[in-house]
Chains A and B, each alone.
Chain A
Amino acid sequence: MNQLGFPILSIMLAVPLVAALWCLFAPGEGEAKARSARVTALAASLIDLVLGGVLWANYEVGGARWQFIERADVFGRFSWALGIDGIALMLIVLTVFLVPLCILASWTSIQKRVPEYMAVFLLTELLMLGVFVAQDLFLFYIMFEGGLIPMYMIIGIWGGARRIYASYKFFLYTLLGSVLMLIAMLYMAQTAGTTFIPTLMTFNFSSQAQLWLFLAFFASFAVKMPMWPVHTWLPDAHVEAPTAGSVILAGVMLKLAGYGFIRFSLPMFPEASAHYMWLIFALSMIATVYTSLVALVQKDMKKLIAYSSVAHMALVTFGLFAFNRQGIEGAMMVMLGHGLVSSALFLCVGVVYDRLHTREIARYGGLATNMPAYATFFLFFTMASVGLPGLSNFPGEFLSMMGTYEISSWAAFIAVTGIITGAAYMLYLYRRICFGPQTNADAAAMPDLDKREWLVLAPLAAAVLWMGVYPESFLSPMRADVGALLERIHPAAPASDAALTVPHAAPAAAVAGER
């Protein structure tokens, strides 16, 4: 079975499911049921966190490519095939780390329909974990697409004023992207004769087919990522979603697309990836410049962070399509770092939103005076988001840009401007909220962090520091898998515009002939 002797991945999926059903059907009424639902959800997510830890501890770095494999052919046409590599492991760890924090963050801010909320949230966790552990093409698709339903519910029921519009936009946008991917998957299963992802990753599709298949997958992942110009659902969804919804959206859901690129687009269609590299780079360059500038003028805190997410995700796509180790490892690190930092920033917004019920930046100011602990945490995460060395985003951003520079100095040049504008909008945001005069009396009267909020923010801060100081913990499980990926895509890698290696001396005969 696997190195543990029990089906740990299935159990990790079953725990949130059972807990979600218990939240919904547990006896009790009103407040008592709400309390039991909160406790159940927290307990379930903590169990998954522990299991995630067990997974990480038992993952053999340098061992088999796919570990913790499970397989049951129960669906006739496709199977319940689970298994992870280092890349999936890191994203699973990120997911199980964030979910308990989300549930803690919703402890008091969600007051209506608590059992349903907790159940839907746990189902979201189940589906996202399912995406990362699925080893079967269609199982992946079902998990990937299934995530729409709970997220639609979270935005639509517990969201803000324009929640209905945002939920529709989120659902239909992402659905349109993914159905095209389904057709591509059907074609692949038909051509390759298997739905097993590891086999498909080594299957050579014809160059012509690759071009189409890549575009179909791109339609799905570009929306989910989100890349300019199909990013417009994200600010709406983020702004209207409750805090924890934003956290899960930014922290994990956006990573599904990056994971998809690594798992499908690059290894399965290497030639097409090289062919469309410029498309990706062009969109990423526009995204970096455009969304950073848009972020600069936002009046809504969540919208600003949402746009900053789009800009950060552009760094991921830059790195992924750089076709070299620095780029791909950097992209993964940006995903993990952004998962932590953007989640933390959304939680910071949530803290003040719970007190004042507005996300408008102008309604705050001078919070450093009355909320010193909060201001410290917020500053810490702002710095991490800006890419300060020693904090989580720096290793990823640095690697990603270095990889990009190796293949295209122009793309790298534009990517770096994103870091500069990123510093501008984040510091400007921080100044307007935490520094300056206390012009708003109600904002000035807000109490500092309570114990629960400390409990939410402190682990995130620790993780951010860990990732910045010792990124090796996170890089080492992925190293072999990135190596395998590089081996696969290397023959198709496009030429670099910067001659980073010394050209070979011309053969003597040729030199003689030129004379």
Chain B
Amino acid sequence: MSYIDSFALSLPEIILSFGAIVLMLAAAWMGDKASKAISWVSVLLLAGAGLALLGPAGSGGLGYDGLYVADPFAAFAKLLIYVGAAVAILVAPGFFNRDGEMRAEYPVLILLSAVGMGTMVSAVDLLTLYVGLELQSLAAYVLASFLRRDDRSAEAGLKYFVLGALASGILLYGISLLYGFSGTTSFVGVAAAMKASMGSGLLFGLVFVLAGLAFKISAVPFHMWTPDVYEGAPTPVTAFFASAPKVAAMALTVRVAIEAMGPATGEWRQIIIFCALASTILGAVGAIGQTNIKRLLAYSSINNVGFALFGLVAGTAYGASAVMTYMTVYIVMTLGSLICVLQMRTADGTPTEQIAALSGLSRTRPALAAAFAIFMFSLAGIPPLFGFWPKFMVFDALVRVDMWPLAMIGIATSVIGAFYYLKIVKTIYFDEPAGVLAPSRSMIEGVLIALAALFVSPLGYLMIGPLGRITQTAANALF
């Protein structure tokens, strides 16, 4: 395969990389007053990258001598990533402009992070995986501390960096073990070595790699950074963290578990079962006492990652498609609820994150309250809202491989989670108005919230057919 063909496979990454470099130069020359134009160009670039997935980049197969793959699985994950990234760019001006902190580098960093994530989900080699992960993480560390004058933001960035570096170290150690005991860094080679003989060296490598990845998807017991980073990071960045990198890391985990460690399914399944159960339980219990909505949503994301992992536990193509369905609906719900959080501003425009500020929102701002309630019930997985469907899928995947006792336990933990989602609805609908939140002026936020709410409303059920076909095609690419 010539390099031209390989380039064609990674066209989305190339578009985004070149675009990011050009925009960086533009930002350097024109300064922050160009941030609006740069934002829109970035969104266009993301759309262009998304369109490029229709070509060979969507299903062209292996490239770069087996370091990189363009298959439907990667393409679908990239699509979700670009949506998350674009939304994070679109909602940023409303948040940063007030402090005069909207800097032209913000969209550029998101683009670079998107390049990293695209590389992650297309990686079929442990080193491509690592490079993609680091590119994504480096951009994310900067984004977390984007509000330079804000202590919490700086703390979030530092915390994220230190713990992220630790996770990268663990991952790299695992990669070196896998390489040392299999003699190759390609997923296929590692799988072949595992199939030949599953020694303790490979087993340790597997454990460390999964531990590193669990950090990135913030599964328990590697979740500690999540609440602090989500709380400290600027809200648009939180929205970004909760969506795109989650999808990328989850897709990567699925690919590594199935393509590189497929023969060791019995081994990693135990680890994933523990992570999944611990995440759903701790994510639910941890959220109950929270008073800050962003911290609560951080725990909610831990909880949701746990549910998505149940799909991986099944270890089948259907399970993988369930994970992708889960992530699709999850990013819509989580982006929707975080944009709702963006709307929580007092009369003088200061953002507030206290759950108590939402009291009686249903009487002061009924539309926002209804959207909030829809997202909360949907995150809790209560039908007839669409958030029920991904939970249905992952547990269906478990039942199909006769793991129904685990499914029973898993779904019972969702009841604990329902409690704190209900708490938000209770605050919004049952409590007396606190009257601290002012009406919003942002059109874009309103439109995005409405779109997300429509997606998770019962109308979403009409998409089950197409969504099921797409995720199944994506998942089949792994097997």
Q: Mark A168-180, 1 if CB is under 8 A from B, else 0.
A: 1001100110011
Determine the residue in chain B with the shortest Cβ distance to A138.
B392
**B408 is an interface residue with CB less than 8 A from chain A:** yes
- Taking a contact as CB atoms under 8 Å apart, the answer to whether A183 and B404 are in contact is yes
Q: Mark A148-169, 1 if CB is under 8 A from B, else 0.
A: 1100110011000001100110
**B273 is an interface residue with CB less than 8 A from chain A:** no
Query: Max chain B CB contacts within 10 Å: which of A157, A175, A182?
Result: A182
- Taking a contact as CB atoms under 8 Å apart, the answer to whether B422 and A171 are in contact is yes
Which segment, of A72-80, A247-255, A477-485, faces chain B? A72-80
Cα of A371 to Cα of B101 in the assembled complex, Å = 71
**B388 is an interface residue with CB less than 8 A from chain A:** yes
With a CB–CB cut-off of 8 A, which chain B residues contact A76? Answer: 464-468
With a CB–CB cut-off of 8 A, which chain B residues contact A152? Answer: 422, 425
Determine the residue in chain B with the shortest Cβ distance to A17.
B458
Cα of A75 to Cα of B377 in the assembled complex, Å = 20
**Which residues from 98 to 155 on chain A have a C-beta closer than 8 Å to any C-beta of chain B?**
113, 116, 127, 138, 141-143, 145-146, 148-149, 152-153
**B33 is an interface residue with CB less than 8 A from chain A:** no
**A11 is an interface residue with CB less than 8 A from chain B:** no
Which segment, of B161-169, B234-242, B410-418, faces chain A? B410-418
**A279 is an interface residue with CB less than 8 A from chain B:** no
**B31 is an interface residue with CB less than 8 A from chain A:** no
Which segment, of B47-55, B291-299, B393-401, faces chain A? B393-401
**Which residues from 457 to 473 on chain B have a C-beta closer than 8 Å to any C-beta of chain A?**
461-462, 464-468
Contact of A75 among B408, B411, B419, B465 (CB under 8 A): B465
Contact of B412 among A168, A171, A180 (CB under 8 A): A180
- Taking a contact as CB atoms under 8 Å apart, the answer to whether A175 and B418 are in contact is yes
Contact of A183 among B408, B418, B426, B467 (CB under 8 A): B408
**A187 is an interface residue with CB less than 8 A from chain B:** yes
User: Using a Cβ cutoff of 8 Å, how many contacts connect chains A and B?
Assistant: 89
With a CB–CB cut-off of 8 A, which chain B residues contact A176? Answer: 412, 415
**B180 is an interface residue with CB less than 8 A from chain A:** no
Known A75-B462, A153-B429; judge A183-B407 contact (CB<8 A).
yes
- Taking a contact as CB atoms under 8 Å apart, the answer to whether A186 and B396 are in contact is yes
- Taking a contact as CB atoms under 8 Å apart, the answer to whether A186 and B429 are in contact is no
- Taking a contact as CB atoms under 8 Å apart, the answer to whether B415 and A175 are in contact is yes
With a CB–CB cut-off of 8 A, which chain B residues contact A473? Answer: none
With a CB–CB cut-off of 8 A, which chain A residues contact B418? Answer: 171-172, 175
With a CB–CB cut-off of 8 A, which chain B residues contact A216? Answer: 408
Indicate the size class of the contact surface on chain B.
20 to 34
Cα of A331 to Cα of B157 in the assembled complex, Å = 64
Contact of B419 among A149, A164, A168 (CB under 8 A): A168
With a CB–CB cut-off of 8 A, which chain B residues contact A179? Answer: 411-412, 414-415
Contact of B395 among A77, A157, A183 (CB under 8 A): A183
Cα of A179 to Cα of B417 in the assembled complex, Å = 13
With a CB–CB cut-off of 8 A, which chain B residues contact A206? Answer: none
Cα of A153 to Cα of B426 in the assembled complex, Å = 9
- Taking a contact as CB atoms under 8 Å apart, the answer to whether B415 and A172 are in contact is yes
Cα of A179 to Cα of B412 in the assembled complex, Å = 7
- Taking a contact as CB atoms under 8 Å apart, the answer to whether B468 and A77 are in contact is yes
Indicate the size class of the contact surface on chain A.
35 or more
Cα of A272 to Cα of B384 in the assembled complex, Å = 30
**Which residues from 98 to 151 on chain B have a C-beta closer than 8 Å to any C-beta of chain A?**
none
Q: Mark B438-479, 1 if CB is under 8 A from A, else 0.
A: 000000000000000000000001101111100000000000
Cα of A179 to Cα of B399 in the assembled complex, Å = 14
- Taking a contact as CB atoms under 8 Å apart, the answer to whether A187 and B426 are in contact is no
**B266 is an interface residue with CB less than 8 A from chain A:** no
Where chain A touches its partner, the secondary structure class is helix
- Taking a contact as CB atoms under 8 Å apart, the answer to whether B383 and A142 are in contact is yes
Contact of B399 among A143, A163, A183 (CB under 8 A): A183
- Taking a contact as CB atoms under 8 Å apart, the answer to whether A146 and B426 are in contact is no
Cα of A183 to Cα of B404 in the assembled complex, Å = 7
Q: Mark B366-408, 1 if CB is under 8 A from A, else 0.
A: 0000000000010000111000100010011001100010011
- Taking a contact as CB atoms under 8 Å apart, the answer to whether B462 and A180 are in contact is no
Cα of A129 to Cα of B427 in the assembled complex, Å = 30
**B430 is an interface residue with CB less than 8 A from chain A:** yes
Cα of A148 to Cα of B377 in the assembled complex, Å = 11
Known A75-B464, A175-B418, A176-B415; judge A157-B382 contact (CB<8 A).
no
With a CB–CB cut-off of 8 A, which chain B residues contact A187? Answer: 399, 404
Q: Mark B301-319, 1 if CB is under 8 A from A, else 0.
A: 0000000000000000000
With a CB–CB cut-off of 8 A, which chain A residues contact B415? Answer: 172, 175-176, 179
- Taking a contact as CB atoms under 8 Å apart, the answer to whether B411 and A148 are in contact is no
- Taking a contact as CB atoms under 8 Å apart, the answer to whether B382 and A149 are in contact is yes
With a CB–CB cut-off of 8 A, which chain B residues contact A74? Answer: 461-462, 465
- Taking a contact as CB atoms under 8 Å apart, the answer to whether A190 and B399 are in contact is yes
- Taking a contact as CB atoms under 8 Å apart, the answer to whether B377 and A157 are in contact is no
Determine the residue in chain A with the shortest Cβ distance to B463.
A76
User: In the assembled complex, how far is the CB of residue A178 from the closest CB belonging to chain B, in whole angstroms?
Assistant: 10
Cα of A156 to Cα of B377 in the assembled complex, Å = 15
Cα of A181 to Cα of B318 in the assembled complex, Å = 22
Cα of A182 to Cα of B382 in the assembled complex, Å = 12
User: In the assembled complex, how far is the CB of residue A25 from the closest CB belonging to chain B, in whole angstroms?
Assistant: 10
Q: Can you add 19 more A-B contacts, CB < 8 Å, to A156-B430, A180-B408?
A: A75-B462, A75-B465, A76-B464, A77-B468, A142-B384, A145-B388, A152-B425, A157-B429, A171-B422, A172-B415, A175-B415, A179-B414, A179-B415, A180-B412, A183-B399, A186-B399, A190-B396, A190-B399, A190-B400
Question: 24 A-B residue contacts at CB 8 Å?
Answer: A74-B465, A76-B465, A76-B467, A77-B465, A113-B362, A113-B363, A142-B383, A145-B383, A146-B383, A157-B429, A164-B430, A168-B419, A168-B422, A172-B422, A175-B382, A176-B415, A180-B412, A182-B392, A182-B395, A182-B411, A183-B411, A186-B407, A190-B399, A190-B400
The 6 closest A-B pairs by CB, nearest first: A76-B465, A76-B464, A142-B383, A146-B384, A186-B399, A179-B411
